[in-house]
Chain A
């Protein structure tokens, strides 16, 4: 298969399969979890569910009293990575063109010079959290193979994407193929791994806030 054929397949059936599995998997997981249901609460509520749930979705993103060094590192490295990744993903013009074809609308882009920085910053943050995962006794205790797998799957599109913009020791075509493959593999893996937290985090936070909120507790 030549490179044009590979690229055409990746942008065709490859993209269809990966986006379909991504959508199907995430939605399946979310709906299934919600449908398992919850016993009705018969105790008289002091507060409410909806608004405290929403409030916790926001409040959990803030630093809490008594955050430790480990906590600061985790949150700051985490935010750096997430913001770097999201800006790189959503504000590079070449990506926006892809979203435009699928969603039907676009938005303004940021100059590639800035995206270069956000991509490198995200990569650096990922390396930092990996080192932390290996060295910190708390995180190490909780770590299993899935954490390493998720890490590799997440850093691969960032590295190959940077490579596609700056082909080092390779051609643009090869780097682009690797980039699209790694992105599609990541899409497929998301519903099956902890990366599905990208959706469930909102629901989990909401539940937390709601379960506390009806008792009148700010969580």
Chain B
């Protein structure tokens, strides 16, 4: 496709009707929690938009985010977006390889300097000068800094890019950090999740394509319209939590009745994401619905936040041993001080100044 064609023309050539296109725009509007009247605005913008250049950098990642994005039962949504942008560099999806691929990247960066969208997935290792992840001889750090210079905005896709993710977990042998830890002077949107819900990625892109701005963000730089609520607040099993009905094992009566999975380690209360409403596989289900507690994968440091199968109140360190040690120390100190005081009394008794009638004289 030529960069000069507008999206509507491209879609029509692909057999997508104008009606289908408008349906997509309405869906996007509602996903982005925009008023219904914005659908025509999205349609107008997208139909006239020239396809901006998008460079996708994959660093220390598992490719799960790309898999999520492309694992779609509804080709219209994702491929529409992929059609609306010019994906000039993407390890998994691009046809080119080797030096040809790197040249394509450098060319796009130069030609669209200041205007291209940078998408990053995977964390950036810093230890030992960043040798733990390199592409074409360049460390991730170098590549990110270079690419960020000319980016209009950066979308950190997946918890690894947003918060450091799995490589960042203790003991963090590669010194992995997030995009926000490195780039401080560009607008960043964190689309966290391990992986993120596909439509969340596309929703952010749609917003950017329509308005040229990034959506409203929470304090972790995640789009509010998707990460504004916790799983707990939207979970369909919430009434069971409120009634104190918890499954104690994975196949007990409670589990089979679909009771709350809090005791099995659900991190829903401390996790913000859209899983409970948008769900996965085009709204089919999400972990809790399948009987598995939420891992909290869209939160920073969720790998170090305690076992996936230990409930939230579980201490993250050994308290019993410490308490016993403290108790023993208390006994020892108590006896020591007590004996000292006992001696103090004894000494006072020995030095007792006997009261005589003379002391009663005034």
Contact = CB atoms under 8 A, between A and B. Distances in A.
The reply, when asked whether chain A contacts chain B directly with Cβ atoms under 8 A, is yes
A15 B301 contact: no
Interface stretch (A26-34, A41-49, A77-85, A207-215): A26-34
A101 B341 CA distance: 38
A195 B329 CA distance: 21
Contacts of B253: none
Interface stretch (B6-14, B54-62, B238-246, B278-286): B238-246
Contacts of A148: none
Contacts of A19: 319, 322-323, 326
A93 interface: yes
Interface string A76-112: 0000000000000000011101100111100001111
Contacts of B330: 23-28, 31
Contact of B317 (A15, A34, A36): A15
Interface residues of A, number: 48
B232 A28 contact: no
Contact of B334 (A4, A27, A37): A27
Nearest to B327: A23
A37 to B, nearest CB: 5
A19 B320 CA distance: 9
A24 B335 CA distance: 12
B314 interface: yes
A25 to B, nearest CB: 7
A1 to B, nearest CB: 10
Contacts of B320: 102-104
A4 B300 contact: yes
Contacts, number: 153
A4 B326 contact: no
B339 interface: yes
Given A19-B322, A35-B341, A2 B300 contact: yes
Interface string A115-156: 000000000000000000000000000000000000000000
B102 interface: no
A94 to B, nearest CB: 5
B263 A97 contact: yes
Contact of A11 (B301, B302, B313, B334): B313
A3 B305 CA distance: 10
B301 A36 contact: no
B345 interface: yes
B338 interface: yes
B202 interface: no
Nearest to B245: A111
Query: Could you tell me the dominant secondary structure of chain B's interface residues?
Result: helix
Contact of A4 (B262, B299, B319, B337): B299
A172 interface: yes
A66 interface: no
Contact of A28 (B233, B242, B323, B334): B334
A31 B325 CA distance: 15
Given A11-B313, A172-B270, A16 B322 contact: yes
Given A8-B301, A172-B269, A33 B313 contact: no
B15 interface: no
Interface centre among B263, B312, B323 (most CB of A within 10 A): B323
B316 interface: yes
B331 A27 contact: yes
Interface in B281-318: 296, 299-302, 304-306, 310-318
B244 A7 contact: no
A13 interface: yes
B329 to A, nearest CB: 5
A217 interface: no
Interface string B331-347: 10111011101100100
A20 B270 contact: no
Nearest to B230: A172
A171 interface: yes
B327 A4 contact: no
Given A23-B326, A97-B263, A36 B331 contact: no
5 tightest A-B CB contacts, nearest first: A35-B338, A31-B334, A27-B330, A20-B326, A12-B317
Interface of A: 2-5, 7-8, 11-13, 15-16, 19-37, 93-95, 97-98, 101-104, 109-113, 171-173, 176
Interface of B: 163, 220, 230, 232-233, 242-244, 246, 262-263, 269-270, 296, 299-302, 304-306, 310-320, 322-323, 325-327, 329-331, 333-335, 337-339, 341-342, 345
18 contacts: A5-B300, A8-B301, A8-B305, A8-B316, A20-B323, A22-B326, A28-B329, A31-B335, A32-B337, A33-B338, A35-B342, A37-B342, A93-B263, A101-B319, A109-B244, A112-B243, A171-B230, A172-B230
